[in-house]
A and B are shown apart, each in its own frame.
Chain A
């Protein structure tokens, strides 16, 4: 049934697009990542290795850029859980990518405080500059544009996260410049968090 004549009932749950589709190349940790994994897993009780699934997946993502089915298999073997257990986790958390992403993943915070300060306009400018819809990657694999929910930097709105670094107070009219700057200077173009800067520690 539908509540509305113009709106058909659809059972599509909004997360369903996050399904795993990429088998990926063969995957094992590099020796450095394997050593790091062995360190991390010691933080949890010996019979609770599963607790290390998020750290294990972060390592896989840092090594390969995204989480493939083969990476899931490797993590599952090391953690002693099933592949389904790992995929369950991968498909739940938004920070794991299930397909290759661009060199720079530009994540615009769209939640309230950022939106009140122009985040919707920032997204529009980035869409125009990159010619990309949110959620897609350009053909050269340089940029992925994503809208994300609250990043927890509401006093420096609008905030954009490029890979793992924050760019604070991005005015809509400066959004296109940030893209140009990223092309030239790479991650150095990103402002970082103001706390360390203001205190003179950066």
Chain B
């Protein structure tokens, strides 16, 4: 499949309105405005578009659930892109910002919202500048603002800058943050489609998801669905990073296999190294082993293989990677990013990190493995949002597949696989 979403990203001025309009940009918005909003929702439903943020929930359904009887309604675009290993939305927003703006405008029209907030993570300041300039251009040409293209439809798009919080990527935490509070999740239900931003019906969609909407409107649901395997239609962006020769964002149909992505697109592991494991969907999902590399990189196939496609952040680990270190590294992340609202997660991630740290430092005890399992079991499923389940996954998945490495650390009282790319001095437990 030839790239669609990122086809022009390497061309100069790809981010400008002139370039975008010359390449059929905003034609989908014109077409959408000639339809009724419910027809757009039907189109998106028929396309089978699934959310690209991680959960893979059908976007058309999400839009249909938005309560059309209550005014005002809102669209919130999740541009927090905080799952470790994910960097696709950054590329879309920086090099193809008008695609997102067009997607926001069509999304607002479909759900009957007049305001879209793009919640962008604070570390993307350079991306925000590009996006805000593109929004100004779109206003100047009448693609945003009052009475868009003479249709009577009004739409404002604003960029809202986050300030460093992984949890803000969770949809209800994102809404809390937009309301000027700590990014902590709400109890669900009610879901944002009924009670969202300012208590009003809100659709929360990922950047890549909204970028797919203009394609569906322009070229039709059937064309879109046929791009990929059944129920996994459309183009997909994959972020490949870690121990590969050519890390980067690659666009493909979801009929592609992990092997083609890693060995083909990303050039495979480096000279003299062998593949040890793959994290197929960001740090929150179970690892897959080299024997599973021929798995199709689709939502359904990866789930069947025992993991999740998540945000399609493929982190490749070669044979120099210590799996206890890996779990320690990720639990440092989760401990730091736990929002603190639910006790099992707030306290539990801290304990998991401390135990992993001391095993990695050669100070572990045999019963630690049981404690890790026990603490993990008391976090997963016992928190308001999916963070708890995400945080224990690196521990449980490494214990499941690489328990022998944990045991070797404990019996030999040291890290049994210290790689050259790791710190020379022991890293402090800070």
Contact surface of A with B, Cβ cutoff 8 Å: 3-4, 6-7, 13-15, 43, 45, 48, 50-55, 57-58, 79, 81, 85, 88-89, 92-96, 110-113, 115-118, 120-121, 123-124, 134-135, 148-157, 161, 164-166, 192-193, 195-196, 198-201
Residues of A within 8 Å of B240, CB to CB, are 155
Residues of A within 8 Å of B313, CB to CB, are 154
**B183:A92 contact, CB within 8 angstroms:** yes
Given A4-B365, A15-B340, A152-B81, verify A93-B162 contact (CB < 8 Å). yes
8 A Cβ contacts from B179-222 to A? 179-183, 198
Cross-chain contact of A48 among B121, B179, B339 (Cβ < 8 A): B179
**B333:A199 contact, CB within 8 angstroms:** no
Contact surface of B with A, Cβ cutoff 8 Å: 9-15, 81-87, 90-91, 94-95, 121-127, 156, 158, 160-166, 177-183, 198, 239-243, 247-249, 279, 283, 313, 315, 317, 321, 326, 329-330, 332-333, 335-337, 339-340, 346, 350-351, 354-355, 358, 363, 365, 368, 371, 421-425, 427, 430
Residues of A within 8 Å of B423, CB to CB, are 120-121, 123-124
Residues of B within 8 Å of A196, CB to CB, are 94, 126
**A118:B421 contact, CB within 8 angstroms:** yes
Given A43-B158, A48-B198, A201-B13, verify A193-B126 contact (CB < 8 Å). yes
Given A54-B161, A112-B85, verify A157-B422 contact (CB < 8 Å). no
Given A152-B82, A155-B249, verify A93-B12 contact (CB < 8 Å). no
**A116:B336 contact, CB within 8 angstroms:** no
State how many angstroms separate the Cβ of B384 from the closest Cβ of chain A.
16
**B163:A13 contact, CB within 8 angstroms:** no
- The answer for the CA separation of A52 and B156 in the assembled complex, in Å, is 16
Residues of B within 8 Å of A50, CB to CB, are 179-181
**A135:B430 contact, CB within 8 angstroms:** yes
**B90:A153 contact, CB within 8 angstroms:** yes
Residues of A within 8 Å of B85, CB to CB, are 112-113, 150, 154
**A94:B335 contact, CB within 8 angstroms:** no
Given A113-B241, A166-B126, verify A96-B425 contact (CB < 8 Å). no
A–B pairs, 6, beta carbons within 8 Å: A13-B346, A57-B163, A88-B181, A121-B423, A165-B126, A195-B90
A150-B166, A193-B127 known; 19 other A-B pairs, CB under 8 Å?
A4-B365, A57-B163, A81-B180, A95-B163, A112-B85, A112-B279, A112-B333, A116-B242, A120-B422, A123-B423, A124-B424, A149-B336, A152-B81, A152-B121, A154-B84, A154-B241, A154-B315, A195-B94, A200-B12
**A134:B330 contact, CB within 8 angstroms:** no
State how many angstroms separate the Cβ of B197 from the closest Cβ of chain A.
9
State how many angstroms separate the Cβ of B121 from the closest Cβ of chain A.
7
Residues of B within 8 Å of A94, CB to CB, are 163-165
Cross-chain contact of A116 among B11, B317, B363 (Cβ < 8 A): B317
Determine which residue in A7, A50, A85, A199 has the highest number of CB atoms from chain B within 10 A of its CB, and name it. Answer: A199
* Nearest A residue to B354, CB-CB: A7
Residues of A within 8 Å of B122, CB to CB, are 93, 95
Residues of A within 8 Å of B198, CB to CB, are 45, 48
Residues of A within 8 Å of B354, CB to CB, are 7
Q: Sorted from nearest, which 5 A-B pairs have the closest CB atoms?
A: A93-B163, A50-B180, A94-B164, A120-B423, A154-B241
Residues of B within 8 Å of A148, CB to CB, are 164
- The answer for the CA separation of A8 and B13 in the assembled complex, in Å, is 58
* Nearest A residue to B15, CB-CB: A201
